[in-house]
Amino acid sequence: MRLRLAVLASGRGTNLQALIDASKTGEIPAEIAVVISDKKEAIALKRAKDNGIPAVYIDRNNFGCKELFESTLLDEINKYDCDLVCLAGFMRILSPYFLANSEQKIINIHPSLLPAFPGLHAQKQALEYGVKFSGCTVHFVDKGVDSGPIILQAVVPVYENDTEESLSERILREEHRLYPLAVSLIAQGRVKVEGRKVWIS
């Protein structure tokens, strides 16, 4: 069975592109059913259109409260009959209302080795802390910020002369490998969650 993905993205969408490419080559038994953004100018929306994928912009300012915005998000995801929601640089925290009402599991990619450096500017946080290794994490989304059960992680070295840009680039290359791999494992039914632990068969 090909899994139908809803990808939520706020920015340039290189992780979305990695998922599109992997679905086209058949590397992942999944297809992107819809791309949704909270930013009108997001390059992610253009990438979707260029690949014949429905691209939906939802303006948060049209909704008086977060719940109404999120219920519109949920409606769109359901309209496209999605099996899994993938956050790919979606820069909004989903509320407990969204999580309680989502019919799909939600996964996220984050540019650090969680639980280190959650939230914004993870690569800058890693550099400032002085860690020798960082990386990226694909995890299920729960009520916390970047705190859900960890599916996969990849490690990269941090060099003394690294800048935020150079470290981000090194991590991003791993993100583009890791996110399709995680989706593929889920699509194959090889991922089980027990409490905080994720088992991969």
Q: What is the dihedral of CA 149, 108, 53, 13, to 10 degrees?
A: -160
Which residue in 4, 39, 47, 110 binds ligand GAR (CB under 6 A)?
110
Minimal CA–CA distance to 100: which of 56, 57, 139, 70? 70
Q: CA 17, 189, 82: angle at the middle one, nearest 5?
A: 50
By the rule CB under 6 A, 124 interacts with ligand GAR: no
**Closer residue to ligand GAR (CB): 150 or 172:** 172
**Closer residue to ligand GAR (CB): 14 or 188:** 14
Asked if 12 and 47 count as a contact pair (C-beta separation under 8 A), the reply is no
d(CA 81, CA 8): 15
By the rule CB under 6 A, 137 interacts with ligand GAR: no
Task: Report the residue number whose CB is nearest to ligand GAR.
Answer: 89
Which residue in 109, 126, 151, 185 binds ligand GAR (CB under 6 A)?
109
- List, in sequence order, every residue forming a beta bridge with 155; answer none if it has no partner: 135
Residues 89-108 that bind ligand GAR (CB under 6 A): 89
Asked if 150 and 114 count as a contact pair (C-beta separation under 8 A), the reply is yes
**Closer residue to ligand GAR (CB): 124 or 188:** 124
**Closer residue to ligand GAR (CB): 177 or 192:** 177
110 as an active site residue: the answer is: yes
Report the SS3 class of residue 136: strand
In the complex, the smallest distance separating the C-beta of residue 138 from ligand GAR, rounded to whole angstroms, is 9
* Amino acid in the structure at residue 42: A
> Which one of the listed residues 110, 121, 139, 176 is annotated catalytic?
110
Which residue in 131, 150, 154, 172 binds ligand GAR (CB under 6 A)?
172
By the rule CB under 6 A, 15 interacts with ligand GAR: yes
In the complex, the smallest distance separating the C-beta of residue 151 from ligand GAR, rounded to whole angstroms, is 14
Q: What Cα–Cα distance (Å) separates residue 100 from each residue in 76, 105, 114, 141?
A: 16, 11, 23, 12
Q: Rule CB under 6 A: which residues touch ligand GAR?
A: 9, 11-15, 88-89, 109-111, 122, 146, 172, 175
